[in-house]
Amino acid sequence: MKGVEANKAFNDLKKNNIYIFFNEGEVVYKLSNSEKFTTDDLDYFEGVWPYEDAYVVDEDFSWTYVRTHESECGPYFVAM
């Protein structure tokens, strides 16, 4: 999915433990009890980490949400 559809799919998803990582850097954030985490919460990371692309996955990588640095691309969501 792409764009608004990707955001809605991610926001509606039942989430428990998620990982957030970026294409720039070696830091991975693990968030537990993240059922209320939404796409808007990724904006927080823009202020503390100058990332290019952000990736959010669940603990078994059965879905992935990607926000790219190109405003004309994405965001993207895929679930297995």
Question: In this structure, what token pair is assigned to residue 56?
Answer: 């959010």
The amino acid at 51? Y
Domain locations along the chain: 4-79
The answer to whether 62 touches 26, Cβ cutoff 8 Å, is no
pTM, to two decimals: 0.88
Model pLDDT for residues 16-65, shown as the tens digit of each residue? 999 998 887 788 999 999 999 999 998 777 666 666 889 999 999 999 99
User: How many C-beta atoms lie closer than 10 Å to residue 56's C-beta?
Assistant: 26
